[in-house]
Structure 1
Amino acid sequence: MAASQFDKPIDFKKGTVIFAEGEDSNFLYLIKSGEVRIFKKNQEKLIPITVVRDQEFIGELSMFSDEKRSATAVATQDSTLVMVKKNDIRKVLKTCPEWVTNIMVTISDRLRNSVDMLREHKIVDDVIDMGNELTPKEEKDYLKKISDYMTRKGITTK
């Protein structure tokens, strides 16, 4: 494939919002180094969903649909990520048989639905049980950073 965003690592300082819930989804990211925390906002409370580290992806759930971001990602350490454009993924998938794309879409939809159902029924993720819940100060700081980011980007929530 010709040069793409694959070749351009992006550095995020600790505390930087990478993307926010409700934002258009045009990229996924591979974490080259560092750590990113994924959150869902429930009223005015942040719910930690998971912690993602080296060689893992974030933002993959909306790569096969035109849905907006379903969660917020924040760098919890200085991190280096590689951005992969949705269009680049679609170009690669066009070289595959249609059934491969259908499988990817189905898996992505089922995963998103499962995450939504778990959250809706307030089933607690293992991350919270492992002592990764936020302190009130951390939650306040993250909420402020996320709010500032969303304001800068013109993102509105439902």
Structure 2
Amino acid sequence: MSNLSANKGTEAPILFKAGTVIFAQGKTSKYLYLVKKGEVRLMKMKGNSLNVIQLCGERDILNEVAVLTNKPNDLTAIAKTDVELVLVDQKEILSVIKNSPKWIPDIFETLCERLKHTQDMINEHNLDQEKDARLLLNKEDERKYLEALGNFNSDS
């Protein structure tokens, strides 16, 4: 992932071109991402297809649960448009948490567990059936995203 090599954990936004995989379901990631510009689709593989879970834009935070729990991603993030992201290194976040009052890590852990549980319940019970049209993928986009995801997974 060449976008990350020169600017690890910097406050300067990094450009990800439309169609670029930012992080992938089942893989670990060491960055929390702050969206400065553009749109990112958060998706989940179900069988052989991708389902869009959320469309993220300016000021949204991506990958917080995986970074704070140090577990593999439950979702895949792919740039819908060209997007500028600020990367925050997991080590920096964990250092801040470690140096804060002792009860802060417990709060983060509880919040992450609740968020994960809520996401799982929504998916399990199909509570997102009435999807926003912006969340629907056409066959061509899905094909491109699956190809990009395959390339991403083979590179890492």
**How high is the TM-score relative to the length of structure 2?**
0.88
| RMSD, aligned α-carbons | 1.6
- For 2:150, the aligned partner's letter is S
Could you say what secondary structure the match of 2:137 adopts?
coil
Q: Tell me which residue corresponds to 2:148.
A: 145
Give unpaired runs (5+ residues) of structure 1. Answer: 154-158
The 3 A distance-change label for structure 1 pair 131 and 55 is: closer
- d(CA) in 2 for partners of 1:42, 1:63: 23
- For 2:92, the aligned partner's letter is D
Q: Tell me, yes or no, if structure 1 residue 35 matches structure 2 residue 71.
A: no
Q: Tell me which residue corresponds to 1:120.
A: 124
Tell me if structure 2 keeps the 8 A contact 1:29–1:84.
Answer: yes
For 1:1-158, what aligned pairs fall within 5 Å after superposition? 5-124=9-128, 128-153=131-156
Could you say what secondary structure the match of 2:25 adopts?
coil
Give 1:131 deviation, angstroms: 4.6
Tell me if structure 1 keeps the 8 A contact 2:37–2:85.
Answer: yes
Give unpaired runs (5+ residues) of structure 2. Answer: 1-7
- d(CA) in 2 for partners of 1:125, 1:20: 23
CA-to-aligned-CA distance 1:65-110 (integer Å, 9 cap, x gap): 1210110000111111011011100111122112122111111111
Tell me if structure 2 keeps the 8 A contact 1:25–1:62.
Answer: yes
Could you say what secondary structure the match of 1:22 adopts?
coil
**How high is the TM-score relative to the length of structure 1?**
0.87
- d(CA) in 1 for partners of 2:9, 2:89: 7
CA-to-aligned-CA distance 1:109-144 (integer Å, 9 cap, x gap): 110111112212222266x23452111221111111
Q: Tell me which residue corresponds to 2:3.
A: none
Tell me if structure 2 keeps the 8 A contact 1:37–1:74.
Answer: yes
- For 1:150, the aligned partner's letter is N
- d(CA) in 1 for partners of 2:85, 2:94: 20
- d(CA) in 1 for partners of 2:49, 2:13: 32
Tell me if structure 2 keeps the 8 A contact 1:49–1:125.
Answer: no
The 3 A distance-change label for structure 1 pair 143 and 54 is: same
